[in-house]
């Protein structure tokens, strides 16, 4: 029985930059479920979420040369690509105006095609860290990063000034960065 290949993050990035199909297959096998979970927290429709997942992996393949390990981990980079792609898809379809953003409660126990959606960011413990923030910071971070709201949409939803939302978000991110350090 052949042993499964395990790549370090540095090896994986290097192989992806060399356009290694084996490395890309490895990346897909190890991260598709998590990225799908990120996408389904923003996109309501299952077929659209699957389309976005495919688009995300194409973006990763085409843009891996732009990834800078000095700025962060590849996992974080891929999460941002996934979340942004999902939000872009909603905006392009006008779905935000139709209220198609998940509230969060309806997907906690949702299993789609064998991919558990609640795997996502808990791999790095982000949910727990966000849960330790003050409630006013926690709400803003959850709406922005877990549910895909823009700062302007958060301001309107919470009925607080946009400047207050920006200040709280900056402070929350500062606290989270300190926790990671």
Residues 152 and 173 in one domain: yes
Band of residue 3 on the pLDDT scale cut at 50, 70, 90: low
Residues 38 and 9 in one domain: yes
The enclosing domain of 88 has a CATH number of: 1.10.1740.10
pLDDT of residue 125: 67
Mean pLDDT over 105-124 rounds to: 42
Task: Please name the residues in contact with 64: beta carbons below 8 A apart, sequence gap of 6 or more.
Answer: 13, 16, 17
Return the higher-pLDDT residue of 43 and 111. 43
For 91, the token pair is: 């905006």
pLDDT of residue 32: 93
177 lies in which domain range?
125-181
Residues 148 and 76 in one domain: no
Mean pLDDT over 85-111 rounds to: 56
Residues 160 and 142 in one domain: yes
Of the residues 105, 120, 135, the one at which a domain ends: 120
Considering its fold, how many domains does the chain have in total? 2
What is the DSSP code string of 116-151?
A: EGGGTGGGGTHHHHHHTS-HHHHHHHIIIIIT---H
Residues 103 and 137 in one domain: no
Residue 100 has pLDDT above 50, yes or no: no
Residues 91 and 162 in one domain: no
Residues 33 and 102 in one domain: yes
- Residue 111: DSSP 8-state: E
pLDDT of residue 127: 74
Of the residues 97, 120, 143, the one at which a domain ends: 120
Mean pLDDT over 120-149 rounds to: 76
Of the residues 120, 138, 168, the one at which a domain ends: 120
Residues 66 and 53 in one domain: yes
Return the higher-pLDDT residue of 25 and 123. 25
Return the higher-pLDDT residue of 162 and 117. 162
Residue 108 has pLDDT above 60, yes or no: no
The enclosing domain of 139 has a CATH number of: 1.10.10.10
Give the residue from 127, 102, 124 showing the smallest Cα distance to 40.
Answer: 102
Band of residue 175 on the pLDDT scale cut at 50, 70, 90: confident
Mean pLDDT over 65-94 rounds to: 87
Return the higher-pLDDT residue of 120 and 19. 19
What is the rounded average pLDDT for all residues in the chain?
79
Residue pLDDT, tens place only, 130-139: 888 888 888 8
Residues 116 and 130 in one domain: no
Residue 156 has pLDDT above 70, yes or no: yes
């Amino acid at each position: 029985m052949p042993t499964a290949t395990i790549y370090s993050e540095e090896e994986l990035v290097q192989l992806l930059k060399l356009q290694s199909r084996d490395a890309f297959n490895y990346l897909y096998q190890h991260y598709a479920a998590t990225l799908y979970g990120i996408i389904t927290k923003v996109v309501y429709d299952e077929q659209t979420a699957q389309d976005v997942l495919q688009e995300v992996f194409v973006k990763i393949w085409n843009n891996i040369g732009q990834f800078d390990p000095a700025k962060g981990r590849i996992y974080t980079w891929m999460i941002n690509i996934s979340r942004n792609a999902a939000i872009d898809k909603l905006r392009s379809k006008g779905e935000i105006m139709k209220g198609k953003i998940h509230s969060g409660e309806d997907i906690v126990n949702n299993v789609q095609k064998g991919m558990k959606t609640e795997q996502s960011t808990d791999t790095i413990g982000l949910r727990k860290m966000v849960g330790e923030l003050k409630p006013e910071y926690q709400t803003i971070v959850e709406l922005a990063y877990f549910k895909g709201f823009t700062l302007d949409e958060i301001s309107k939803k919470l009925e607080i000034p946009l400047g207050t939302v920006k200040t709280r978000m900056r402070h929350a991110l500062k606290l989270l960065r300190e926790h990671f350090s």
